[in-house]
């Protein structure tokens, strides 16, 4: 099955289709399993640039590195926690109603993270806006729940969530950094809203200009850069094949 089909099948919540790479082979050694899971999450099956899941937050909030990092960490937390919980209850949920149950769990977790961000990183909470509650609709999270966590043990699911979340966060960070440098000439602008005032030394100003390259901060720029990142990843794959 091609990557694209796999993504489509996940999005369409195809109930009957077994998704390959979704189940760990029972006889494989533990180390090999973890290695495979990391490779899948970070590179081969990266949710951002291979499965193309969760594109809406990916493109909408990556206008600065801080926003990207904030949303990446929130998503990372939700995907790990939801994978663990769903793996724990996987034997007790009737197959027919598993999707609503998964959504309910994910929505509760997102509510937690939303309240936490409201309490501790209020500025970031304001600048991410609607995209925090929208983590619920991130196909990557429900995709991992359905394709992996509902079929595998708790520790494997947790590790899979960590790697998928890291893969997603990595793409967010690359895109956020590229857009922030192009549009404003800074890195980590506003990082104190995420990590607290001590972190404000991290803000780097690379260059100063009166005329910023506005398109990088706008959605079209996000799409173009995203396309270039995917092309870059594919060209590395082609080089590795040779």
Partner 1 sequence: MAFFSSTSPHQRIKRRTPEIMKMVVLALLPGVLVHSYLFGLGIYVQIALAIATAVASEAIFLTLRKRPFINSIKDYTAIVTAVLLAISIPSLAPWWVIVIGTAFSIIIVKQLYGGLGQNIFNPAMAGYVLLLISFPVQMTAWLPIESMQAFPVTIKDTLSLIFTGYSIDGYSVTQIKTSIDGFTLATPLETIRNALHVGDTISETLKTTLFSPDSLQGSQWVNLAFLVGGLYLLKKQVILWYIPASFLVGMIVFSFIPFATDPELFPSPLYHLFSGATMLGAFFILTDPVTASTTVKGRIAYGLLCALLVVIIRDFGGYPDAVAFAVLLANICVPLIDYYTKPKVYGRRRS
Q: Which residues bind partner 1 (CB under 8 A)?
A: 211, 213-215, 218, 220, 224
For the CB of residue 216, give the shortest distance to partner 1 in the complex, in Å.
Answer: 8
Complete DSSP assignment for 21-48: TSS--TTS-HHHHHHHHHHIIIIIT-TT
- In the bound complex, what is the minimum distance in angstroms from residue 159's beta carbon to partner 1? 37
Angle at 111 between CA 108 and CA 117, to 5 degrees: 145
Tell me whether residue 34 or residue 213 sits nearer to partner 1 (CB atom): 213
Report d(CA 110, CA 75) in Å as an integer: 9
Closest separation between CB of residue 121 and partner 1, Å? 31
Smaller CB separation from partner 1, 73 or 217: 217
Query: Shortest distance, CB of residue 225 to partner 1, whole angstroms?
Result: 11
Contacts of 213 (CB under 8 A, 6+ apart): 182, 183
Q: How far is the CB of 181 from partner 1 (least distance, A)?
A: 15
Q: Which is nearer to partner 1, 42 or 181 (CB)?
A: 181
Q: Which is nearer to partner 1, 224 or 236 (CB)?
A: 224
Of 100 and 220, CB closest to partner 1: 220
For partner 1, the closer of residues 100 and 219 by Cβ is: 219
Residues in CB range of 135: below 8 A, 6 or more apart: 57, 71, 74, 75, 78, 110, 113, 141
CB of 223 to partner 1, least distance (A): 11
3-state helix, strand, coil in the chain (%, to 5): 70, 0, 25
Q: Can you say how many angstroms the Cα of residue 114 is from the centroid of all Cα atoms in its chain?
A: 16
From 181, 160, 162, select the one nearest 68 (Cα to Cα). 181
For residues 13 and 141, is the Cβ–Cβ distance under 8 A? no
- The most distant pair of C-alpha atoms in the chain lies apart, rounded to whole Å, by 61
Q: What is the closest distance, in whole angstroms, from the C-beta atom of residue 46 to partner 1 in the complex?
A: 22
Q: Which residues are CB-neighbours of 61 under 8 A, at least 6 positions away?
A: 67, 68, 70, 71, 128, 131, 172
196 vs 220, beta carbon nearer partner 1: 220
């Amino acid at each position: 099955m091609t990557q694209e089909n796999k993504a489509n099948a996940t999005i369409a919540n195809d109930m009957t289709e077994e998704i390959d790479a979704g189940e760990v082979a029972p006889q494989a050694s533990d180390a090999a399993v973890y290695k495979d899971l990391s490779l899948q999450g970070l590179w081969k099956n990266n949710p951002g640039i291979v499965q193309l899941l969760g594109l809406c937050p990916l493109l909408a909030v990556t206008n600065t590195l801080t926003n990207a990092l904030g949303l990446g960490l929130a998503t990372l937390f939700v995907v790990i926690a939801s994978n663990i919980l769903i793996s724990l209850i996987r034997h007790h949920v009737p197959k027919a109603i598993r999707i609503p149950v998964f959504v309910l769990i994910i929505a509760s977790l997102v509510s937690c993270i939303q309240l936490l961000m409201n309490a501790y990183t209020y500025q970031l909470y304001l600048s991410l806006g609607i995209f925090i509650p929208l983590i619920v609709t991130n196909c990557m999270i429900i995709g991992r729940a359905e394709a992996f966590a509902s079929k595998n043990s708790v520790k494997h699911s947790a590790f899979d969530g960590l790697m998928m979340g890291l893969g997603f966060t990595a793409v967010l960070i690359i895109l956020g950094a590229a857009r922030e440098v192009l549009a404003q000439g800074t890195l980590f602008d506003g990082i104190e809203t995420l990590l607290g005032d001590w972190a404000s030394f991290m803000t780097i100003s690379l260059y100063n200009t009166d005329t910023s390259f506005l398109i990088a901060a706008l959605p079209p720029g996000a799409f173009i850069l995203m396309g270039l990142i995917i092309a870059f990843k594919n060209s590395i794959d082609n080089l590795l094949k040779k």
